[in-house]
Structure 1
């Protein structure tokens, strides 16, 4: 259902950024979170039921200095369809160990995921195709509060 372009388990290559680590100690998280913007786009606004929807998520550090955004669990970011994480009502288990998302100055991090137009339901053995209608696809940084997020609406016919 979801794939990233990177082999990195978190979806982004995380090179060691020593300046970013130093800034993490002195820059408040509310500043770091507000320095990152999130943008979500799809390759087109309308699809037929059953089409695959290619979703592009871009996280951008708007500042000319490195930033580090801390997350309370291992998940750095997520995507949703109508508020359902990865188009599923299945519970996701992510380690409660904190993590950090490092950004170089003015860096953009891009991920591509594909939604197959189906919802995974925990009480059914099969995946359920989405009904025709409008759906909101959103993505966010996985912080506890004031998540940098964005969304776009698509129509299934």
Structure 2
């Protein structure tokens, strides 16, 4: 039986493209391409926006008063290559109840620095949130909502998200 060093398995031929590079071998450069950065540089902004779908759903349409509302958010890259969308905040997406982000009247302190929301080719990203049918009115105080219809919005954190189709809405009803 031959040992591994007798088989020459650890040797590397310079013309074999399937052998790993040696450390410090910068003469030929990297062998991989950052496809996300590449597509971000060459894909038009309008195409990136059209390629991304936003969907929000709940487990039911009607809820008894006090029952938690299960919210499912899905972002999907419909394109066969990776895309990246710039956001105005490190919070790449938001959810809101009747226009109140995170069902709160208290604005969250989030730094005003841009970020990016990245998707691999044909990638789906799903998130789940639970709304306890309460609106935050102070740091330690929540008020229950009255029966009625409420709109749940989800969108990418961009000022032009609604114009670009990067927002979705669903309506629920709370009954006594």
Match of 2:171 in 1: 153
CA contact (8 A) 2:155 2:161 kept: no
Alignment TM-score, normalising by the size of structure 1? 0.83
Q: Following TM superposition, by how much is the alpha carbon of 1:125 offset from its aligned partner in structure 2, in angstroms?
A: 5.3
SS of 2:141's partner is coil
Task: Find the partner of 2:74 among 21, 43, 58.
Answer: 58
SS of 1:37's partner is strand
Q: Distance in 1 between matches of 2:63 and 2:136?
A: 19
Q: Following TM superposition, by how much is the alpha carbon of 1:30 offset from its aligned partner in structure 2, in angstroms?
A: 2.9
- Structure 2 unaligned residues grouped into runs of 5+: 1-32
Q: Following TM superposition, by how much is the alpha carbon of 1:55 offset from its aligned partner in structure 2, in angstroms?
A: 0.3
CA contact (8 A) 1:20 1:104 kept: yes
CA contact (8 A) 1:54 1:113 kept: yes
- Which protein is bigger by CA-based radius of gyration? 2
Q: State the Cα deviation string for residues 36-85 of structure 1 (Å, max 9, x = none).
A: 11110000111111111110000011111111111122110000000110
Aligned residues: 140
Q: Distance in 1 between matches of 2:112 and 2:82?
A: 25
CA RMSD of aligned residues (A): 1.6
Q: Following TM superposition, by how much is the alpha carbon of 1:87 offset from its aligned partner in structure 2, in angstroms?
A: 0.5
1:82 aligns with 2:107: no
Q: Distance in 2 between matches of 1:98 and 1:83?
A: 22
Q: Following TM superposition, by how much is the alpha carbon of 1:119 offset from its aligned partner in structure 2, in angstroms?
A: 0.4
CA contact (8 A) 1:29 1:70 kept: no
Deviating 4+ runs (over 3 angstroms): none
Matches of residues 134-149 of structure 1 in structure 2 within 5 Å?
134-147=149-162, 148-149=166-167
Match of 2:14 in 1: none
CA contact (8 A) 2:92 2:117 kept: yes
Q: Following TM superposition, by how much is the alpha carbon of 1:152 offset from its aligned partner in structure 2, in angstroms?
A: 0.6
Alignment TM-score, normalising by the size of structure 2? 0.75
